[in-house]
Amino acid sequence: MLQPGEAVEISVPFYSELTVEYEVSKEADIMWPRSKVRVVGLGDYPPHLLSEVLVMKVPRL
């Protein structure tokens, strides 16, 4: 799981085709008693977030 502002970089051998699978979570699971945590957000991400992820370019290897 990446936090806001974090990134991941993966090195792979050269291939003519590369498939990247990812998931954008739309819900938050609370595993602690609510009295012990501050809930920052639940539910859907802002509508523009998914479109921004989908247009991100993967660098050619």
5 belongs to a structural domain: no
20 belongs to a structural domain: no
What pLDDT was estimated at residue 60?
A: 61
Total domain count, the chain: 1
Residue type, 27: E
| The pTM of the whole model exceeds 0.85 | no
3 belongs to a structural domain: no
Distance of CA 45 to the CA centre of its chain: 11
45 lies in which domain range?
Answer: 32-60
17 belongs to a structural domain: no
6 belongs to a structural domain: no
Residues of the chain with pLDDT under 50: none
55 belongs to a structural domain: yes
Q: Note the maximum CA span of the chain.
A: 52
Q: What CA–CA distance (Å, rounded) separates 41 from 39? A: 6
